[in-house]
Structure 1
Amino acid sequence: MGVVGIWDYIFDSVASRRHKKRKQLNTVSLKVRMDCEGCQRKVKNALSSLKGVTRVDVDWRQQKATVTGYVDAKKVVKRAETTGKKVEAWPYVPYTQVAHPYVAGVYDKKAPTGHVRKTDDPAVAGLNPVEEHYALMFSDENPNACSLM
C-alpha cells in the first residue's frame, strides 16, 4: 500500500466524518389557498426564508407555489402552513399524461387549464390493449393509418 496510500486513506476517512451528506436539488410544488397578491407575497416570503431554497415561484391565480432548492418536501409544507393558508401537495398533472382525463375522480373543474387530478388507478392512467390498438390505428404518427377526407 505504501506511505502515500496510508495517508490518502487517513485523509479520506477524516474528511468524510466532517462533511455531511448534501441534500439533492428538489422541486416541490404545492397547492396553497391564496386570495390576492398580498397572500402571494406572504407565502413567497415564508418559503424564501427557508434554508437551502434557491428559487420560489408563486402564482396566486393558479393557487400554486413551486420551491426549488436543497430542501426537504416536508419542511417546505410545514413552512407554508405557518402562513395560515390551506396547503397540500400539487395534485394535478397535464391531461396528456392520463389516458382517460374525463373519468370521475380525475376530471376536476377547479384544476388549472390543461391539467387533471393525478391518479394511480391503472385502469384510468393507462390504455388497455384494445384501446391502444385503436388509438395507434388512427394516429398521425402511423404512416399506414387510415385517413378520411
Structure 2
Amino acid sequence: MGIAGTLEYFSDLLASRKKGKKKKQFNTVSLKVRMDCEGCQLKVKNALSSLKGVKSVDVDLKQQKATVTGFVEAKKVLKKAQSTGKKVEPWPYVPYNLVAHPYVAQVYDKKAPPGFVRKTEDPAIAKLNPVEEQYTLMFSDENPNACSVM
C-alpha cells in the first residue's frame, strides 16, 4: 500500500467529512408580522436576532414587516418569529409595477403597504397579453415612433 495509497486514503477521508456538512447560503428572509406597538417590535427583533447565523434584522412597524439577512433558513426564521406569539406569514407582497394588472381582485389588497400588491403566479394577471403590450408600447416615452400628439 505504500505512501501514495496512504495519502489517498487520508484525502478521501477528509473529503468525506466535508461532504457531510453543508454550508448555508446567505439569504434575505422577509416576513409579515402582526405588531401593535414598539414593545412588540422589540420582542420580534430580539427573537430574530438570537438565531444563529443572523447578520442583521430590520423590523418596520408601519409596514408590519421583518427582514432578516444572514446565513439562515426561511423555515427556521418563520418558526422563531412564531415563537413570539405573533401572527406571522412569509412576505406576500411585491411592488405594484411588477404586476401587469395590479387592480384585479386576486391581487389588490387593501391591507397592503402603499405601492405594493399581493404576489400572484397566475400568468393572465402577471403578464400583459400581446395586444395590451402593443398598446402600452405605442404610447411609451421610450418608443421613438410613439404618437406625436402626446
Using structure 1 for the length normalisation, give the TM-score: 0.91
Q: 1-side partners of 2:81 and 2:115: how far apart?
A: 26
1:56 corresponding residue in structure 2: 57
Q: For residue 42 of structure 2, give the secondary structure of its aligned residue in structure 1.
A: helix
Name the CA shift for 1:49/1:145 in 2 (closer, same or farther; >3 Å). Answer: same
Please give the per-residue CA displacement for 1:52-106, whole angstroms capped at 9, x wherever unaligned: 1111100111000001111110110000000000000000000010000011121
Using structure 2 for the length normalisation, give the TM-score: 0.90
**Unpaired runs of at least 5, structure 1:** none
How far apart are residue 5 of structure 1 and its match? 9.7
Q: 2-side partners of 1:28 and 1:148: how far apart?
A: 46
Q: 1-side partners of 2:49 and 2:148: how far apart?
A: 53
Name the CA shift for 1:16/1:141 in 2 (closer, same or farther; >3 Å). Answer: same
**Unpaired runs of at least 5, structure 2:** none
1:13 corresponding residue in structure 2: 12
Amino acid at match of 1:14: L
Q: For residue 65 of structure 1, give the secondary structure of its aligned residue in structure 2.
A: strand
How far apart are residue 17 of structure 1 and its match? 3.1
How far apart are residue 35 of structure 1 and its match? 0.5
Q: For residue 54 of structure 1, give the secondary structure of its aligned residue in structure 2.
A: strand
After TM superposition, the runs of 4+ consecutive aligned structure 1 residues lying more than 3 A away are 3-7, 9-12
1:121 corresponding residue in structure 2: 122
Aligned residues: 146
How far apart are residue 6 of structure 1 and its match? 7.5
Q: 1-side partners of 2:136 and 2:103: how far apart?
A: 17
Q: 2-side partners of 1:148 and 1:12: how far apart?
A: 74
How far apart are residue 13 of structure 1 and its match? 2.6
How far apart are residue 16 of structure 1 and its match? 2.7
